[in-house]
Amino acid sequence: MTRVVEVPAHFDDRSFDQFAAGFDTWPTEERVLLDARATQWASPYGLVGLLTAGQALSEARKERPLLTVPASDEVRRYWTRTGFFAHAAELFEVHGKVPRAAATGPSDVLLDVTPIRASEDIHEIVGKIQENAARILTGELGIEAKATMGFAMALSEACQNIVEHAGTSGWVAVQAYTFRRRLGRRVVVIAVSDAGVGFRRSLESTQARRFGDRWGDGSALEAALIQNVSRFRDPGRGQGLAGIKRYLSRWQGKISIRSGTARLAIVPAWDDDVPLVDHLPYFPGAQVQVTIPAQNAEP
């Protein structure tokens, strides 16, 4: 038997729950086919989420999942350009025509889909991002030049959650695009995802008793993102997410974290997202999205 999981036509953080619901249970007993034929667009969050699904199934020693590529030639080319297919080939049995990677000049992709396995990968990522980030943040988003380093800092801290807490590797991608549906202006989005233990298991030994009956995926996210709690006893820990929040507050940015069955967001005025959503379809690990909007126009 094969379980077919449809990849939403417009695949981003909002439609991710629909994607997660397609698995029913984790790890699913049947072989999984991720069907992206009808997908017209995927955000960085969607792309790293797809790879996370493949990684989670691989780590659960399940049969190699299948992936059918988007029918749209344009979408396939774009996914190739982000580096998605190069990593997908290691995790999935890919069905469909995958374009060859073409030589690229400046693009909206600030950082290709990139694996995060160790601290050294984060050095590589931060080194790569700085030149592109300056071009996009100051040139397109109207953010002052000195904020570029803050962006690299936020990216570094978001990626470190994987190395420090996930217990496995993960993925990151950074892209600029026009956020028409909710904002009507350009944004830069950092998406980080892993197939690891998730926030609840990471914090359970130190926080579960404090929350009592309330303990769960939602309260674990609350402890980490709102209260800056870390599983480590070192009082210097837990500042990474706090630093990201501080940076985002200056630029009306948004951070959203999904882990297990919950999602928690710090929601800026331009967005209509719900701060905390519980009882979502389960998905392994943690998925973080950081969104920074253009500063040069009113929403």
Partner 1 sequence: MVQTISLHHVLQEAVATPYRNLVTRATGIAVRGRIEATLATGGGHTALLDFSGVDCLDMSCADEIVAKLLLAAASGDRVLVLTGVREEQREALEHVLAHHHLAVAACFRGSDAPDVLGWISGDAREAFADLRRRGSTDVLGLAARMTWPVQRAAVALDDLAGHRIAQPIAGVYHVVTVS
Q: In the numeric block, which tokens belong to residue 241?
A: 């997410």
C-alpha distances in Å from residue 107, one per residue of 74, 123, 176, 241, 294: 15, 22, 9, 28, 17
Could you tell me how far CA 51 lies from the centroid of its own chain?
A: 10
User: Which residues lie below 8 Å from residue 236, measured CB to CB, with a gap of 6+?
Assistant: none
Nearer to partner 1, 132 or 261 (CB): 132
Looking at 126, 172, 190, 294, which residue binds partner 1 (CB under 8 A)?
A: 126
Min dist CB 289 to partner 1, Å, is 19
Q: Are 94 and 58 in contact (CB under 8 A)?
A: no
Q: Are 266 and 225 in contact (CB under 8 A)?
A: yes
Q: Are 258 and 103 in contact (CB under 8 A)?
A: no
Per-residue contact track with partner 1, 162 to 191, x per CB under 8 A? -xx---------------------------
Looking at 112, 157, 217, 271, which residue binds partner 1 (CB under 8 A)?
A: 157
End-to-end CA distance of the chain: 48
Min dist CB 230 to partner 1, Å, is 11
Min dist CB 156 to partner 1, Å, is 4
- Taking CB under 8 A as the rule, does residue 281 contact partner 1? no
Residue count of the chain, please give it.
299
Q: In the numeric block, which tokens belong to residue 222?
A: 């609350």
Which of the stretches 26-34, 87-95, 98-106, 120-128 binds partner 1 when contact is defined by CB under 8 A?
120-128
Nearer to partner 1, 2 or 239 (CB): 239
How many CB atoms sit inside 10 A of residue 176's CB?
23
- Taking CB under 8 A as the rule, does residue 117 contact partner 1? no
Nearer to partner 1, 91 or 288 (CB): 288
* CA gap 192, 240 in Å, rounded: 14
* CA gap 221, 285 in Å, rounded: 12
Min dist CB 293 to partner 1, Å, is 20
Min dist CB 40 to partner 1, Å, is 36
Min dist CB 169 to partner 1, Å, is 15
Per-residue contact track with partner 1, 212 to 241, x per CB under 8 A? -----------------------xx--xx-
- Taking CB under 8 A as the rule, does residue 296 contact partner 1? no
Q: Are 7 and 19 in contact (CB under 8 A)?
A: yes
Q: Name the residues that contact partner 1, by CB under 8 A.
A: 119-120, 122-123, 126-127, 130, 146, 148-150, 152-153, 156-157, 160, 163-164, 235-236, 239-240, 242-243, 246-247
